Structure 1
Amino acid sequence: MFGDDERWLRAHGLPAFVVRHRRASQLVARTAPFILLLSSADLGAWMIDHATVSLNSSSPLAGLGALLLTGLGLIVLLLTPIAAFLRSGAWLRSAPRGMTVAGWMLLTYYVAVAPWLAGHPPAAGSSPPEGTGALLGTARAAITAGLSLAATGLGLGSLASWSLRSAIRQFKALGELTTRALPLLMLVVVVSFFSRTLWEVTNAMSPERLAGVVAFFVALGLIFIVPVTRRETVGLENAGPPLSRLEQLNVTTVLVLAQGFQVAVFSGLVCLFLTALGQIAFSGAVLDAWLGPGREQLEVAGIRFPVDAALVKTAVFLSCVSSLNFLISATTTASYRSAFYDPLFEDARQALEVRAAHLAPAGRKTGPEIVVEWE
């Protein structure tokens, strides 16, 4: 069974801190949630491809019931692997052998059973021998399962599981973000929100160009936060053996991702606030005068929403601007730093202490000073 320190490090997205010979321990059990996710995705895709729901005016209840059942099945398929990711640590602690057995069963189903149940029909126009499609599906599933096991052994599974839990924790901090950060930082963008020139620019953006603008702001944020985070982690290295290159990369990645989740939640809040404000403040006549008649409505996956597309584009653009401002303020302004930034580095400091305790039995030398070790 895993030691408490090893479980703690994996749960906090720090698999590189685990001693080298233990990184592949209980590999199948730890890969099981991801195999469940792959199986659920395949089953959900099969349901969408094969489900035909029609609402007949003579008997609408039957069609509506089939639609609700299909939607419920898809929701269950979505939530089951998420719950497995969130609870996998507790299950490994309480029933490690059971998790291993479940992992092998999922692997067997995904590789040897699911391709034959689905049939994996060949591409249109080809006529391979009967069963070749299922054999190809089995080969693809085996390669995918092998890559999944390798990724888990490298620690990507622990990092993904931690990322999901961290994102959920950031949603729990919505109250703090709303009351402390949102009101002041919104002042920066509200004035620009009522600028006709900005609306004309954002309205002319295609979805691809807008995505490029978002990516540009993400790159700016990374250029700013990665060096700052690296400097901060050097100051935390006050106990235990030197960090290797991989361990330094791991702790920096975790801290940058945690801050990224904060920024993403804040950006979503700003976007929702501006969209609601625009719906209230701008009449159709004003937008017609600014942008001309025949404006596009927001359309996502073929579904039209009663929201002006230009409004959403403007809200997305300004949310990127305010999010970059929030990121800089969270690292430089004392009040924001104590609320949003310092707690992340308290976790990092605790991680280094756990790492020192984890490596001590293996004979690694620990001491009061830490020097980054580049291997």
Structure 2
Amino acid sequence: MGDRQRRAFERWFDRQGLPSFTVGVRPLTAARVLPPLVLISTWELLSTALDALQQGGPQAEQPLRPLQLLVLVALLVLPLLAARWAARRIDSTTSRTLPVVTAVVATAVAVVLAPYLNALMGNDFVSDVAGNIAATAVLVLLNYLGVGSLLAWSVREGLRQTTALREMTGRALPLFVLLSVFGFLAAEVWQVVSALDGSRFWAMAAVLTCAAAGFSATISFSEMKEIVASDYPREAIAALAHEADRPSGVLPNGDAHPPRRPVSRRERVNIVAKLALAQTFQAVLFSLVVFVFFVIFGMAAIGTDIIETWTGRVPQVAQVLGIEVFASWELVRTAAFLAMLSMVYFAASTSTDPKYRTAFYDPLSRSISLSLLVRDNYLARVRPPGTRRRRRGRRGGPPAVVAPADELPGQGLSQQ
């Protein structure tokens, strides 16, 4: 198999959220790290512009408020769009210089230019440079390990599975709202949430998020075992004829397909993570719906005097990146607490809902079966049956090569 076709297979696995299906360690090239570099550089420039707009003081706050809101919306949207553009640009271009130049420029913007502009407004240049270097290194490392492709696929699949989310929301949301609205109107809940400081509140959020992820991982593990143990369904094989975005030559001999290869532990973990992240993303979307509902309901039904009576202090106006919103921090924190509880409730309810399983897990199971079929053909070309890999003679030596079994060193001695 040529290098071009092998890269086509690897890009297809990345788009499917299965980076561990590729063989060997992929090089840390500029093309692989360009999307996160573009994301963080765009974020830094827009956040610097937002800080500059807030330097005008209270007198300039009202005239600049629409512009601040515009920059805030751009801060939440443009970095993702820029990273997506960079990823598509990499796939379409044949130049090797353009990704390198773009990566260097994005790194310079994130590490040097943005901290320098912040230093002009009174911030510490050294601390900003250190923080941006750390953030850039973490993003590049995660993308190199394949986490970036897995997260990107989970977001795309979570948004694509709107039917399953809509059906589950229609059944789970009324029941949860009916049970939690009494807690939302209880003074004790507001007192407990308002008494939490920043670190304890985020610790509570982390515990609830881990609980939801644990439920999703448990369900996904059982689904993974069924997918790996079952044979390829006809739907997966038939889908190859209609799959437009796939490598060429997946089934070279008509209906024949290569023999099944055992799924490694790393690949099993990748499948579980793929299923769990897709479900967790839908749980997050469900919790966002609950959060918006309780914020709107609280603004309409609970006044500031009632919040002051319940919490024992004057409500503070919430700010997002220095911009005031129309709700108090106490209302936002209480709504966020109930939203995180709803995320756990959603993740636990999906295990006992057959309609959600049919609408959500069945398409994912067919998709993973298709990916396993492509993987077998990919491995048959990279590692033909009857071959073994030579181990490296020394650390940092040349990459392992594939040799026929009858040509391995010591084969004749073992036969004698």
Report the counterpart of residue 290 of structure 2 in structure 1.
270
1:87-110 deviation per Cα after TM superposition (whole angstroms, max 9, x unaligned)? 5564444x3413x33211113434
Write the letter of the residue equivalent to 2:101. Answer: M
Q: Specify whether residues 162 and 309 from structure 1 end up closer, same or farther in structure 2 by C-alpha distance, changes over 3 A only.
A: same
TM-score, normalised on structure 1? Answer: 0.73
Q: Secondary structure at the match of 2:350?
A: helix
Which SS does the other structure have where 1:24 is aligned?
coil
Change in 2 beyond 3 A, CA 1:9/1:288:
same
Once the two structures are TM-superposed, the CA of residue 296 in structure 1 deviates from its matched residue by: 3.3
The count of residues paired between Structure 1 and Structure 2 equals 346
Equivalent residue letter for 1:325: Y
* Match of residue 232, structure 1, among 199, 223, 239: 223
Stretches of structure 2 that go unaligned for 5 or more consecutive residues are: 232-259, 387-416
Partners in 2 of 1:56 and 1:308 — Cα distance?
20
Per-residue deviation, 1:145: 7.6
- Alpha-carbon deviations, 1:148-181, whole Å to 9, x = none? 6665443234234334534654679764454343
Q: In the superposition, relative to structure 1, how do residues 352 and 89 fare at CA in structure 2: closer, same or farther (>3 Å)?
A: farther
Instruction: Return closer, same or farther for 1:310/1:35 CA change in 2, 3 Å cut-off.
Output: closer
1:311 lines up with 2:309 in the alignment: no
Shift of 1:210: 2.2
- Aligned partners of 2:299, 2:110: CA distance in 1, in Å? 48
Residue by residue over 1:333-371, the C-alpha shift from the partner in whole angstroms, topping out at 9 and shown as x without a partner, is 2133333444433433332222223222224559xxxxx
My pick for the range that moved more, 198-207 or 151-160, is 151-160
Structure 2 partner of 1:104: 100
Mapped to 2, the partners of 1:172 and 1:192 lie a distance apart of: 30
Query: What's the Cα RMSD here?
Result: 4.2
Distance in 2, Cα, partners of 1:313 & 1:52: 24
CA distance in 2 between partners of 1:293 and 1:116 (Å): 43
- 1:116 to partner: Cα distance: 7.3
Amino acid paired to 2:203: G
- CA–CA distance in structure 2, aligned partners of residues 349 and 219 of structure 1: 28
Return the match for 2:18 from 14, 23, 27. 14
The partner residue of 2:84 within 83, 86, 89 is 86
Identity %: 30
| Distance of aligned partners of 1:151 and 1:196 in 2 relative to their CA distance in 1, 3 Å threshold | closer
**Distance across 2 between alignment mates of 1:311 and 1:50:** 29
Distance 1:316 1:80 in 2: 25
Of 33, 38, 42 in structure 2, the residue corresponding to residue 31 of structure 1 is: 33
TM-aligned CA deviation for residue 327 of structure 1: 0.7
Aligned residues of 1:55 and 1:64 also touching (Cα < 8 A): no
Matches for 1:1-375 after TM superposition, within 5 Å: 1-2=4-5, 4-20=8-24, 23-24=26-27, 27-44=29-46, 47=49, 54=56, 68=67, 79=77, 81-87=79-85, 90-93=88-91, 95-98=92-95, 100-110=96-106, 151-166=142-157, 168-169=159-160, 175-176=166-167, 178-237=169-228, 238=230, 240-284=260-304, 286-292=306-312, 294-364=314-384
Separation (CA, whole Å) in 1 of partners of 2:221 and 2:299? 42
Task: Determine the C-alpha separation between the residues in 2 that align with 1:272 and 1:120.
Answer: 38
The amino acid of 1:336's aligned partner reads Y
Give distance in 1, aligned partners of 2:190 and 2:342.
Answer: 17
Cα distance 1:233–1:38, how it changes in 2: closer, same or farther (>3 A)? same
Cα distance, 1:284 vs structure 2: 4.5
SS in 1 for 2:325: strand
Contact 2:194 2:333 in 1 (8 A): yes
- Contact 2:69–2:323, Cα closer than 8 Å, also in 1: no
Partner of 1:97: helix, strand, or coil?
coil
Aligned-partner SS, 1:353: helix
